[in-house]
Amino acid sequence: MILGRVVGQVWATRKNRWVEGKKLLIVRPLAWFRPDHECGHVVAVDPVGAEVGQDVVVCLGLPARRALGDARHPVEASIAAIVDRVEVHADAAADGGPRFEFAHGSEPSGLDVRP
Amino acid sequence: MILAKVVGTVWGARQAASLGGRRIVEVRPVVLGPAGPVPHDATEDRLADASLLAVDPLGADEGQLVLVAIGSRVRDLCLGPDVTTKHCVIAIVDAAEVVEGEPA
Amino acid sequence: MIRGVVLGQVWATKRNPRLAGKRLLLVAEVVEDAAGRRRSGRVVVAADDLDARVGDAVVVAFGSGARNAEEACSRDVLSDAAIVQIIDSE
């Protein structure tokens, strides 16, 4: 699963019948995420009721299909949860590497950085 | 899934039997850019550098925005398990709007 | 599977019922190359049933592999990533 921010929505009339009536949201990953192609977004089906501006957990692959109630949906991303708070211990990775930080503008809502 | 723009159709008389004569389109993923509707006439700066080829069962036209789903399971579900692709057009986009743009 | 380090936790009240009660941890991938071990920059959210703590080195499984971590990720659980081992030493 990945953390992402809902930044927009997609409307389509002509689509695979399994996607009929489904809300499609554009999600910008908040931490580095590499789909097949580097385009900075993923479109996810939303069974949870997320809104633009909210931060979400996006589930990928088969579980994403199951979340829609039937594994035959031909999609590979769906919203699993709406994030309230993220707690990060900046020095958690005591491996001598750089401190972990979300990129500017990509800090999740309710981010709580503990020393 | 990703948002992408159809930039062309790939034609070829000699095609693997497993493709079953299906139409193949070349698409370029849309990069998010600033807030506002994703323009249907998205130009270079709104498209990712690398294009990819997807099977298109819906008949999207060149220039249209589409949703491309990625993966072997999606392929199984949309097209059948024998088709040799991992990318499939699952919707032709009427409108897409980015409400919150890229951080500065 | 990837090797990772637990960075923190994610709280979400409104979630798919099939994710109910699951603890969600934020895990940074750790890769190893000629220069040594480092964080790759990739960060994933993984379900956790092993009570991993912040700073723990862990193994995260994805997809059907994660599903086989019965507790965290059985077929009924909506999760594509699960912590399947806490690394003590290697």
Nearest CB to B58; choose among A14, A18, A28: A14
ipTM exceeds 0.85: no
The predicted pLDDT at position A64 comes to 82
* A111-114/A85-89 β-pairing: parallel
Q: Based on DSSP, count helices (H) and strands (E) in chain A, helices before strands.
A: 1, 7
Residue B104 lies in a domain: no
Per-residue pLDDT of chain B (104 residues; tens, 9 = 90+): 889 999 988 877 777 777 777 888 989 999 888 888 888 777 777 888 878 888 898 999 999 999 998 877 777 777 777 776 778 898 999 988 888 776 65
A89–C55 CB contact, under 8 Å = yes
CATH of the domain at B70: 2.40.50.220
Distance CA C60, CA C43 (A): 11
Domain span including residue C26:
2-86
For chain C, how many structural domains are there in total? 1
Question: Could you tell me the CATH number of the domain that includes residue C32?
Answer: 2.40.50.220
In a mutational test of the C interface, the residue from A54, A95, A109, A111 whose CB has the highest number of chain C CBs within 10 Å is A95
What is the per-residue pLDDT for A43? Answer: 92
> Among all chains, which residue has been given the structure tokens 């997609």?
A10
Q: What is the distance in angstroms between the Cα of B102 and the nearest Cα belonging to chain A?
A: 8
* Interchain CB distance below 8 Å, B94 and A11: yes
Q: How many domains does chain B have?
A: 1
- Cβ-Cβ contacts under 8 Å, C42 against chain A: 31-34
Q: Does A20 touch chain B (CB under 8 A)?
A: no
**CA angle at residue B17 from A36 to B55, to 5 degrees?**
35
Task: List, as one string, the DSSP characters of B53-100.
Answer: EEE-SS-PPTT-EEEEEESHHHHHHHT-TT---SEEEEEEEEEEEESS
Contacts of B21 by beta carbon, 8 Å cutoff, 6+ apart: B15
In a domain, B103, yes or no: no
Q: Look at A26 and B94 and tell me if their CB atoms are within 8 Å.
A: no
| Residue span of the structural domain in which B51 resides | 2-98
Do the Cβ atoms of C42 and A32 come within 8 Å? Answer: yes
Structure tokens at A38: 């580097």
A110 close to C (CB below 8 A) = yes
Residue-range domains of chain A with CATH: 2-84 (2.40.50.220)
Q: What is the dihedral of CA C86, C45, A94, A112, to 10 degrees?
A: -130
